[in-house]
Every structure is written in structure tokens, then in C-alpha cells.
Structure 1
Amino acid sequence: MRLSREFVSARIMGRRRRAGALVVTAAMAATTVATGAAAAPAGAAGGFYTPPARFAADPGSVIRTQQTELLLQIPGVKGQWPGTAKRMMYTSTRDDGKPAAVTGYVVEPTAPWNGKGPRPTVVIGPGTVGQGDQCAGSKMLSLPLSVDPAKPSIGVNYAGLEMNLLLLNGVRVAVTDYIGMGTPGIHTYVNRLESGRAMLDAARAALKVAKVPASSPVGFSGYSQGGGAAASAAELAAGYAPELNVKGTYAGAPPADLNKVIDQIDGTFISGAIGYAINGLAARHPELGTVVQKETNAHGKQVLKATATECIGDTGLLHGFERSRQWTRTGTSLSAVIKRYPAVHEIVDDQRIGRLKPNAPVLISTGVADDVIPNGQVNQLYRDWRSQGARVQLATGHLPSILPGMVINHALPMLEFLLPASSFLLNRFNS
């Protein structure tokens, strides 16, 4: 039987919200135990995340690096398995053309590369982890779960699933934290230009950190927010980073049309992620911030302020199943508010992916019952790229709807396409 979002909301909220928090915390703890790590605050990297007063403005420049532990140090084994990690800070470009210092990490695999040509590099764009600086994946390399009881906040670095699979195949991996995640300023969540550029510049920087030729083969990969970043990188590469030797991209469940994604996510367990998008876009477009201040009520302003410093677990537990109409002074959804202001609608529409042609093959994945990223707008991205002559494949998962709004139908396809995505990239490097 298909349960409505309202029914699920009623059953989960109230007295059961506390139980839900315990379940999520237990699940995260299980992840940590499985890796042999213990929960700890994510701020151990100290001042690494504060950019110098001056740094190289050229995109992809390496500002600094820092050796760091990666998950487990195996007793008696020289080096680390499955690779040796370095945090990096590098230069990228904001959508207004200004340089930005971005953090991330590079992992050199222990396993040899037995494929064709030189060892390739894959840049991974993490899925939605939050908007607070404590959520940055590069702060959770040795401890994939971070619990900060003082805030409180729960952060999880789940990019490790795909990262480890690639490392075991001898592929070098770089992961970006994106602009404003860990570093000063707001994280510009789902900003098309800044996400794609952060991925492309992470590739440039990773090749320099690894001290390999700039012509070495690279690929891009990501799911959800990361799928959008990878898709953006794929179509920006020809114009922004033409020197990169891009072999292929995997874009899982990409939010290609933000207007449709906002409608879909509204009222789900992670509806507060709408706040991430509004906060990030308002930081670059003051006119949007003015409209938001005018149209939101006191509760809406509080939610937007809170989400700017939260990880996704915090956001779900604190704002889950809320509808954006609860945040506005008129009781209409934020989507409806956006449509009333042409200038704001244009800002959101500018985030649309699919208007440029990727310069290398792309695999897109989607689930027919995805309750976060609408299946229809993913299919439209496929058609948009195909119409431009791009080499693109579409993989569709047919998992039936399970508790809509609980994000189950968004999370499970990520696991379903993990192996096919890795195989696609490995085949591209060997072609």
C-alpha cells in the first residue's frame, strides 16, 4: 500500500521523532564501528581551512596540502590501505569570476593500476552532507562519522563507498568539499557553475599534488548533489578546463532542474535542504536575499539561519517533513514565491544543467520512484544532451515506491548503481 507523505509525517513526527533520532544515530554508529573508527568532533585539522591572505588566482592552483590518515592504519603494513591521503586547498572560481579557496583531498591508491595507459584520476563530488563547515568530508577521513555534542551535530562522510571501490582498482581519487564547505563563507549548494568548477579545479589540483602530467586521464563521478556537480563539470569542461583529458563522467540522480527538485523535496525528511539552496543562491544574488527576507515568516527565517550551519542529519531531525509553506508569510510554498518574482525565477533557472554539451561520454542514472530527485527531469537532461550529439547513456532503476518522503527511494539507487558506475569509468579509462 502506498502511504501518503502526510501519513508518514504524522506517524514519524511528535513522539516518534526522538525514536527516529536514535535510529539514525545508531545507523551512523554502525558505519563507524564497521570501519573501526570512533566518533569524534570534525575540527581536528585546525587552521588548515583558513585561506592565506593572498593565494594564487589561477584555477586549479595548489595553495597547501596536509598529510592525513585515511580510515584505518593496518598494523605491520607500510603505508595505508587502500591508499595514502592528503588534504588539499586549491583555487577555484566563483560564479562572479572571483577566485575562491576550496578544500578537498587526494588519495593515492596502494593497489597498482593494471589498466591501459597511466594511472587515471576520478574526482568525486559528495552527495548532500549539509551546509555547515563541520560537514566537510575532508575533515572526516580517519573518522567517517563526526559527532559534535556541543552544537549538537552529526556528520557522515559517505563518499568512502565509491572512493574505496575505485582505490581497490588502482584509480587515484580526489574529492572536493565544494566552495564554502569548511572554508569561510556559505557553501553554495547546487550552484551549477561553482559546483562544476570546483570539480574541474579539483582535477587540476589533484594532478599537481600527485606530480603527474596535466594530460593524465581524468573522470568525474557523483550522486545526488554530487551527480549535479559531476554533470555540470562534464558540460563545463570544454570551455572552462579544455586541457583536461576527460575520459568519462558518472552523474547519478543529478538535480538538473532546480525548480522541479524544490517541488519534489518539499515535505520530505530532508525538506530543510531547500534552505541550503536558498542560502547558497542568496549569498551570490542579493536580490534573492531581499525577496526571501520579505516573503518568509519568523519560523522560515529561523529555519534558513539554522540550516546554514547544519549537517544533513541535523536538518532531517530538526526540520524533517516540514513544508516550505510553513516558512512563508502568505502560507504559499517557496516554489510559488519564486514563480511570482521573474528575477528570482531566472536565478533558479540559471542552475539548469543540460544546455551545454559534454566533451566525453556520460552515464546518467535515475530511479523511477526517486522521492528526492524527480525521475522526469533526469530523463530530460538525457534528452537535452542527446539532442546536442553528446555521447550519453541512461540507466534506470525500477525499485517500487517505499515510504515516500523517507528518502529510501533516493538512497537505495545510489547503492544499486555503485558497481555499474565504477565499471563504466574503468571501461572508459581502458578504451
Structure 2
Amino acid sequence: MSKPTTALSTISSHGPRRLQALSAAAVVGLALTLCTTTAPAHAADLVPQTESEAEQLIEDRAAEDPSTLDRDSVPEGVSVEQAQKAVEKTDELTTADVEYAAAQEDLPASGVPKDFYQTPDSLPSEDGAVLKQADSEFYLDPVKLIKHAAKSTVFMYKTTDEQGNARAATATLLTPNGASGHADDAVVLSPGTQGIADKCAPSRQMSMGTEYEGISIASALAAKHPVVVVDYVGLGTEGTHHYLNRTEEGRSVLDAARAVQQVDGSEIDEKTQLQLRGYSQGGHATTAALELQKDWAPELNIASASAGAVPTDLYKTVSGLSSVYTAFALYGVDTFADQADIDTSDFLNEKGQKIVAETADKCTVEALLSTAFTDGQSLTKNGESFTDIIDENFTDIVHRQRLGKADVPDVPLLVNHSRLDDVVPFEQGKALASTWCRAGHKVAFEDNLGPTHVGGYVAALPRIETFTSRTFAGKAPLDSCWRL
């Protein structure tokens, strides 16, 4: 496997020790992982355009030997043996992911000023009102070799949480290089699971080169679509980010789409066709926004939507999680407890409380590594499973996050899901597509055989862009309802 070594070696001789350990596979990001002879400056253009390219990218992710991992290429809170075991026993994590998480520990602060995320003393009554904005940057790698040419602007806007409280949230507008005048169309991207700590907000991570959604963002920008990347309520700004909260996610997305029309320099206005797009947690947020749009933001010009690996039923998703993904369950437990006003000490033992607190401060990859193969029952007071904990404490909260029960706009819909997804059951994606078909919508259901949750994400990208191009051009997508 060829690697872009020339420019990388120039950086590594001067950078911190962990950046010196970063391999070429890791340098272009968690899901991107582009190993190519092309110069790093051009790697931003190398998103998979065909299914064969996507398959090659997935193969490249898994190609490196876990025995190459050493102390300098593993995060501080994880032992070398623990990291090697995680890579060997699951296809979801690769050596590049481990090295990438380690490199994050030595990175400088985000290019966005810290005080930008402070909420103003008073907020306007109008949801979607812009509060402030600042120039930002979009890097595809943590040593900042691969800066995307898109113009990047982070902005803060007003939204409302599930309890009716006025909240400030943030998002990023990326405008393709060379764009001028009115934007005929734009993509509103809801990111997958980032973590629940403020430092994990996509607007912060894009400026640091650590945002794994970079591959999807770059894919949309390559098609010359402006992109709005949503941070969600409480992710970056004050207050708790309520992981997978249907109402707060949906409102964050819709109000970001409203607010971007007011951003100075934005070419998006009320006539711009919008596509809502997201995968995993992002698929959950996209679907939630579709279900809330009629009542919350009926004026938005939504032209289509793409929702991938949507966890429509959190109870079934958590019940089926393997111990590789304990971190996802811990994110949920922490934020469910906050929403229910329950102290986690009511059901977690001392070890469990410690691990939940530590995980809450870690972004996705490091959290997965540090908790991989942790038995949830070893963290509870009475040896209960996380499913038992939900039954006893959070049934109502989990029920409120159910998707597929409400009307959605009459626009073309794409549902993509890997049959080999090991996080969100494939049946949930297929059932969502079937529900929308029964309601009379035009639905393209694109299943694939991408291995694991991440593999399904990468494999879906070429089909998403084809769907996007067709629907923005006013052409109907292939309808899958006849086979569902």
C-alpha cells in the first residue's frame, strides 16, 4: 500500500512525539484513511466516486498490522495491549483509528476562538436567529497538511430545547471554492456520534482536522454543494448535549437551516433547495428533522433527504449492542440520567460512575477504545444489564426518541443501510423505508454489504451523491417500494 511520505516526513521531524508516530493511513482521518501516491494537498478530492472505490477505501482501512502499535501511537488512557486486542477482535476499529485518536492528544486548540461558544446574556425569541459568526478552517488531517479550499464560517444561532428553554447552538457553513451568487441547492449535514463533550463539536473538530465526517463533507463539496454542518444543542455550547434526543436534534437541524440564510457571505436563501443528510446519529437527527419540519419550520425548501443507519428504536439498538460499543451505551446512560434528573449513583457502582465520567469527556474513537469489551453488568450495582437499567429508569425517555411514527414531507427519500451493520440493526433501516413507502412516499432503499457500521457509511457515499444530483435536478430517484 503506497503512502504519501514526502510532505509527511517534513512535518514529523518537528512535531510532537505522537504526531511523529502518526502513519499516512491515519493522517487523513478516521473514516477517510486514504492511502495513495497522490500528494496530500490533493487528498481532499479523493472521496469515493464509485462503489469499487468505496470498497477499496474500506479494504485500505483494515490493511495495517495491529502489532505495529506502540506506546506513542496509542492514547494515554489505553494500554498498547488493549488497543491491539480491540483492533484484532473487531473490524470496526483499525490501527489508523488508534493512531488518529492518539494524535488528537497533542493537537493545538481549535482555530475557532474559545469565547465564540459562550452564550450571550440574552437570546432573541425567534428560532433560527443568528447570534454571531466567525471565520473558521476545514482541515482533513490532524497535522494540518490537507486544508480544504472551501470557505468556512462557524455561526451561533438560537433554538429551543425539549423543555421549551431558549438555547444557543452552533453550526458551520462551508462554501465550495469558486462559488458566487445565489446557491441553487445546499446540503444540511447532521453528523454521526461525536461524543457528548464540548470539545467534540464538529465545528471545533473541523478546525483541528479531527472530524471523521470530513469524508461526507468533502463528498458534497466536490459536487459543488454548499454544506451546513450542525453541532446539535449542548455540543460545543453550554448545557448538556442530550445524545439521540429526537426533539433537540431535529430542532437544531431545522434552525441551523433557517439561520444559515442570515449568515454574512452565505449564498443560501429561502429559494435554495435543501437536502437533509445524515448517518447513524446523523440519520436519527435527519429523520427527526423531517418529522418536525411541518410544525417547526414549514417555510424551509426541503427538496430531498438521505438517512443512513437510522436507530429508530433506541431500546432495541441498546439491547443488541456488543461490548465493543459500550461507549455508545455510556453516552446514553449519562444523558438519559440528566434528562430524568436521576443520579447515576442510583444504579451504577463506583467503577461504573468513574467510567461514565471518563467516557463523557472523550470523543468517539478514544471512548470506543477505552471501553471496548467492557461488560456493562460489571458497572451496575446489582449486576444488571443496560437494558434492565433502561426498563427501570428511562423507559419514557427512550420511548420519546422513537422514529417512524410521524408524517414527513412529500419529497424523495433515501434510506441506506448495510446488511452487515454491527451497531444499528439492518431491520430498523428497512422498516423505516417500508413505513415511508406505505405512507405514499417515493423511497430509494439502498442496502449494501459494507462490513461494520463504518463500512456501511463509506459504501453508501457514491449512491448518496447520485441520489442528491438527481433530486436537485428535479428527477425522481429509483423507487424501491415495490420490493419492500
Find the aligned partners of 1:317 and 1:352 in 2 and give their Cα distance.
Answer: 28
The answer to whether structure 1 residue 373 and structure 2 residue 424 are counterparts is: yes
Shift of 1:206: 1.3
What is the Cα deviation at residue 294 of structure 1?
Answer: 1.9
- Aligned-partner SS, 1:421: helix
Q: Give the deviation of 1:285 after TM superposition.
A: 2.4
The whole-number CA distance in structure 1 between the counterparts of 2:320 and 2:417 is: 14
* Distance change in 2, residues 1:111/1:414 (3 Å): farther
- Deviation at residue 118 of structure 1 after TM alignment: 4.5
- Correspondence 1:158 to 2:212: yes
Pick from 183, 186, 189 the counterpart of residue 121 of structure 1.
Answer: 186
The match for 1:424 is 467
Q: Deviations over 1:250-304 (max 9, x none)?
A: 1110111100111222412x31111212222332222xx25x4322211222222
Question: Which structure 1 residue ranges, 4+ long, deviate > 4 Å from structure 2?
Answer: 12-15, 20-33, 111-114
Task: Answer yes or no: is 1:202 the counterpart of 2:256.
Answer: yes
Is residue 2:168 matched to residue 1:101? Answer: yes
SS of residue in 1 equivalent to 2:304: strand
Unaligned runs of 5+ in 2: 1-68, 70-77, 88-92, 141-146, 475-484
Q: Does the CA-based 8 Å contact 1:273-1:307 persist in structure 2?
A: no
- Counterpart AA for 1:352: R
Query: What's the TM-score once normalised by structure 1's chain length?
Result: 0.82
Given that residues 110 and 207 in structure 2 are in contact (C-alpha distance below 8 angstroms), is that contact kept between their aligned partners in structure 1?
A: no
Partners of 1:103 and 1:128 in 2: CA distance: 16
Q: Is 1:139 aligned to 2:193, yes or no? A: no
Q: Aligned-pair distance for 1:81?
A: 5.1
Residue 331 of structure 1 is matched in structure 2 by 383
The alpha carbon displacement at 1:383 in A equals: 2.4
Taking the aligned partners of 2:414 and 2:436, their CA distance within structure 1 comes to: 11
Equivalent-residue separation in structure 1 for 2:101 and 2:332 (angstroms) = 28
1:386 — aligned with what?
Answer: 437
- Maintained 8 Å contact 1:71/1:142: yes
Matched, 1:237 2:304: no
SS at match of 2:323: coil
- Check if 1:316 corresponds to 2:335: no
Query: Per the alignment, do residues 323 and 165 of structure 1 end up closer, same or farther by CA in structure 2, a change over 3 Å counting?
Result: same
Distance verdict in 2 for CA 1:296–1:123, change over 3 Å: same
Residue 226 of structure 1 is matched in structure 2 by 282
Task: Give the corresponding residue for 1:88.
Answer: 155
- Give per-residue Cα distances to partners, 1:171-192, cap 9 Å, x unaligned: 1110011111111112111111
Task: Answer whether contact 2:111 2:136 (CA < 8 A) is retained.
Answer: no
Larger deviation, residues 303-312 vs 217-226: 303-312
Q: Distance in 2 between matches of 1:212 and 1:320?
A: 42
More strand by share: 1
1:107 to partner: Cα distance: 0.9
Aligned counterpart, 1:415: 458
Deviations 1:285-340 (A, max 9, x none): 22xx25x4322211222222222221112211221121221221121211123224
User: After superposition, where does 1:173-322 map in structure 2 within 5 Å?
Assistant: 173-209=227-263, 210=266, 212-268=268-324, 270-286=325-341, 289-290=342-343, 292-322=344-374
Encode CA deviations 1:406-428: one digit per residue, 9 max, x unaligned: xx511111110011112212211
Aligned-pair CA distance for 1:62: 0.6
Listed as ranges, the gaps of 5+ residues in structure 1 are 1-11, 73-79, 146-156, 400-407
* Selected match of 2:125 from 47, 54, 57: 57
Q: Which gives a bigger RCO, structure 1 or 2 (Cα 8 Å, sep 6+)? A: 1
Which one of 355, 370, 377 corresponds to residue 405 of structure 2?
355
Aligned with 1:417: secondary structure? Answer: helix
In the TM superposition, what is the alpha-carbon distance from 1:224 to its structure 2 partner?
A: 0.9
1:255–1:373 CA contact under 8 A, matched in 2: yes
Q: Is the 8 A contact 2:437 2:443 kept in 1?
A: yes
Measured at CA, do residues 264 and 63 of structure 1 come closer, stay the same or move farther in structure 2, by a change above 3 Å? Answer: same
Moved more, 311-320 or 219-228: 311-320
Q: How many residues align?
A: 382
